[in-house]
Amino acid sequence: MMPEFMPQGPALIVVNTMRVLVVADTHFGAETFLARHGLHIQSNSDERLNRLLKCIDDSNCDLLVLLGDVKHSIPVTTWQEINEMPKIFSKIREKVPFKVMPGNHDVGIGRFLEDGELLEKEGAVIDGVGYIHGHTYPSGDLLGRLIVCGHAHPVVCLYDEVGCSLRSQPAYLLCSLDADEYQSKIKKIEQYGGFFEIEAADSGSDEGAGGAAGADAAFKNGKGDGKAKNAKKPRGRAALALSEGYAYDTDTAGDAESNDNESEVPESNHAEPDGNFAENIEKTHVLFVPAFFELAGGIDVRELKSSRLGPLSRCIRTSDAEVFLSDGTYINTLGNLMDEGETKKIPVRNVHNVRNVRKSRRSGDRLKDRPDIQGSRRGEG
């Protein structure tokens, strides 16, 4: 498997027996949301769609995977989206078959799609690679593979010698998972009544992780030999990290079999994972993909783990994670970037701690350790 980068997206082409174009977080309809918050801008949906169609043409892809947050408004669907989404999907259908991996903003998107176009939110395996939006834990059959993930809108902020920030750039973050942390999260879910399918247990439909083999069969005879215009292949360490490091048996790639036997589903929330579970986590690598929406902004890769934005981001193993620009240029390891930030006194926002501070301020806990204030309240001193 060798990915190709399309900085004009940003978009990613995953090449194995098929050419799969991956576009994450388009956020069509975001202008209505911005208007409700006082920022009135003209809809840019046509320009964004044309950029997407250009990526389809240049990539010569067999399949397009829209990696979640295709539309923006939640929990309702706005009139802008009702008017625009049918036209958007119709234009895409004229170009290439596509699948939608629903994200947390995609409530109600099924009304605009045809049968077989909507995948399951827990992820799908297509041509040997796992795809998920990233706001949920992946289904069990994605583990042990490369998982391509959206949702986080990763960017990298570069700094000069004196610590002045340059403009942030869309970035890819390639990492493995901390197996201990991942398993501890799963145990917490089980402890508090959650449910996580260790084994794939989807029905034999064309949708979702269980139906991924059907997606493979439908598109394996496509234009697999095409090459993208303006798509850049990774160079140097990027090529090494993304090819040799994540090779797999091509004879079994994409064989995500559906499982119609309900008896294989754990009967209890406390069901013990099989012996291969930890091993599969160790073999899993995640590629976080930047947002396609030009106004999406993003989270600096240094802050992605502490942001706790999605289950996979919480389990990033920072020691061997690597950062690439949207054209595939290798930047550095995540660990080195974080060390550089500490050396240059670059402020890093810890979202988790900020939430705790806000909670503390609301509850008045910050005053508990102030004896002078406590004393004055009691009329002492």
Please tell me the predicted confidence (pLDDT) of residue 65: 98
CA-wise closest residue to 15 among 348, 218, 246: 246
Same domain, 246 and 294: yes
- Which range marks the domain in which residue 365 is found? 354-381
Coil vs helix vs strand at 376: helix
Q: Do 250 and 361 belong to one domain?
A: no
Higher pLDDT, 176 or 167: 176
Do 271 and 213 fall within a single domain?
Answer: yes
Average pLDDT over residues 65-92: 93
- pLDDT, position 168: 84
Same domain? For 167 and 243 the reply is yes
Residue 178 and residue 85 share a domain: yes
Q: Which helix (H) or strand (E) holds 282?
A: helix 277-283
In this structure, the answer to whether residues 221 and 113 fall within a common structural domain is yes
Q: Are residues 369 and 230 in the same domain?
A: no
Least confident window among 13-22, 95-104, 227-236? 227-236
- What separation in angstroms does the CA of 359 have from each of 82, 176, 304, 349, 365? 38, 32, 21, 16, 9
Residues 145 and 255 in one domain: yes
* Cα–Cα distances in angstroms (integers) from residue 90 to residues 94, 98, 153, 279, in the given order: 6, 11, 26, 42
Instruction: Provide CB contacts within 8 A for 293, sequence distance 6+.
Output: 25, 26, 27, 30, 48
Clarify whether residues 359 and 339 are in a common domain: no
Residue 254 Ramachandran class (φ > 0 left, ψ -120 to 50 alpha, else beta) = left
Question: Do 189 and 290 lie in a common domain?
Answer: yes
Same domain, 165 and 103: yes
Peptide bond before residue 290 is cis, with ω within 30 degrees of 0:
no
DSSP at 288: E
pLDDT tens, position by position, 231-285 = 765 554 444 444 444 433 333 333 333 333 332 322 222 333 445 788 889 899 9
Dist. CA 381–CA 371, nearest whole Å: 10
Domain total of the chain? 2
Burial state string for 215-240 with b = 16 or more CB within 10 A and e = fewer than 16: bbebbeebebeeebeebbbbeeebbe
Task: Give 284-326 pLDDT, tens digit per residue.
Answer: 999 999 999 998 888 999 999 998 889 999 999 998 899 999 9
What's the average model confidence in pLDDT over 153-171?
A: 78
Q: Give pLDDT, residue 347.
A: 59
Q: Is the pLDDT of residue 177 over 90?
A: yes
Please identify which residue in the block is written with the tokens 């008896």. 263
Q: What is the pTM of this model?
A: 0.74
Q: Is 193 helix (H, G, I), strand (E, B) or coil?
A: coil
The average pLDDT across 175-183 equals 91
Q: How many residues does the chain have?
A: 381
* Comparison of pLDDT for 52 and 336, the residue scoring more: 52
Tell me: do 250 and 148 sit in the same domain.
yes
Q: What mean pLDDT is reported for the chain?
A: 75
